[in-house]
Structure 1
Amino acid sequence: MKTLNLKNMLPAAVIAMAVGGAFMTTSMQSSSKLAQKDGYTRNSQNECSTIQVNCSDNPLNSFCRVSGAQAYEKPEDSNICTTPLYKPD
């Protein structure tokens, strides 16, 4: 009796795992393409410089650097760079 239940439930469990794996794979692929940003270095007054480099805002990576200097996000409403950026995925 127990083997009969196992034989009936096994295909449903395999299908459920396959569907879950497909959704997980799709969500992982789309997350790596998010959040590409221009990074800027800053001077001694924290003002953004004109040097640009492609960075990301994904904090799981290490800091994005331009010739050894850390890259920051440039706000739209000011020229003060304060938010650090990270290496692109």
Structure 2
Amino acid sequence: MKTEISKMILPMAVIAVAVAGAFSSNAMNKNSKVFAPKQGYTHTSPSSACNISNTCSDIGTDFCTVGVEEVRLWGKTNPEATTCNVPLYKQ
């Protein structure tokens, strides 16, 4: 009687562990894609050149800044662009 119960419970336990592992690994893959590093640039006015600075993210809520004065960093729409007007956020 005990062997019949354990023969039924053991496969169900193995399946439960496999399902839990599949869900946890899927969640880790989604979280690893959240950060998208982007080069941040400083500029003092829309007509000034973009000066390379720190790496930021294009995803977030807090603006990416640099220095004591917390100068806001901006990104470019593409590497060849002359203006930097894409908002960037802290990593």
Over the aligned positions, Cα root-mean-square deviation in angstroms equals 2.7
| 5+ long unaligned stretches in structure 2 | none
Q: Secondary structure at the match of 1:47?
A: coil
Contact (CA 8 Å) 2:50, 2:83: kept in 1 or not? no
Q: Report deviation, 1:63.
A: 0.8
Aligned to 1:43: 44
TM-score, normalised to structure 2, is 0.64
Q: Secondary structure at the match of 1:53?
A: strand
Structure possessing the higher radius of gyration over alpha carbons: 2
Q: Secondary structure at the match of 1:39?
A: strand
Structure 1: 4+ residue segments shifted above 6 A: none
Q: Which residue identity does 1:50 align to in structure 2?
A: N
Q: Which residue identity does 1:64 align to in structure 2?
A: C
| 5+ long unaligned stretches in structure 1 | none
2:16 to 4, 13, 18: 13
Q: Secondary structure at the match of 1:20?
A: helix
Aligned to 1:69: 71
Across the two proteins, how many residue pairs are aligned to each other? 81
Percentage of pairs with the same residue: 27
